[in-house]
Amino acid sequence: MKNLRFLLLLLLLAACALPSRAQSLAACKEQLARPITDSVSLRTATVTATESPAAREALAQLKGMGSRTRFQGWRVCIFSDNTAEARSKAYQAMESFKEHFAGIPLYNEYASPYFRVSVGNCTNPEEAIILLNRVNKLFPKAFIKQEQLTLSDLLK
């Protein structure tokens, strides 16, 4: 029974991470809580999400083990350079991305001699392609790369 709950919770977290707009559990809850007005009847509908104590406890356990459990994932690399001004260009790319795509996780890394900026925590290649298509207008040289993700990455 406990394993079934854990599996269901893991599937729920993965489902919340699938759309590129809702890359975190908090963003998923926020999106559900926004009132929607029907254009025909002009009635407003809202969704109230409540979290049971068991789910809260399961999330806390996941956060504790999330940095140890690794699995295959994908991110979109929006910047990669090794020139003299690569560091400042990487920070410019990060600021531009934050301005246009708030809420999507952003990662800055330096692996000699390259400065790289990657975005997203995609659990399948299709999701990474969708994210790539969204950022491609602003970052035309962006590409998809495989990464080792953790469960805690999905909770960001």
pLDDT reported for residue 73: 94
DSSP, residue by residue, 63-132: HHHTTT-EEEEEEEEEEEE-STTHHHHHHHHHHHHHHHSTTS-EEEEEETTEEEEEEEEESSHHHHHHHH
pTM over 0.85: no
Q: What is the pLDDT of residues 80-128, one digit of tens each?
A: 999 999 999 999 999 999 999 999 999 999 999 999 999 999 999 999 9
pLDDT reported for residue 141: 96
Q: What is the pLDDT of residues 8-51, one digit of tens each?
A: 555 555 555 444 444 566 776 677 677 777 777 777 777 676 77
| End-to-end CA, the chain | 27
Joined together, the tokens standing for residue 86 give: 């690569």
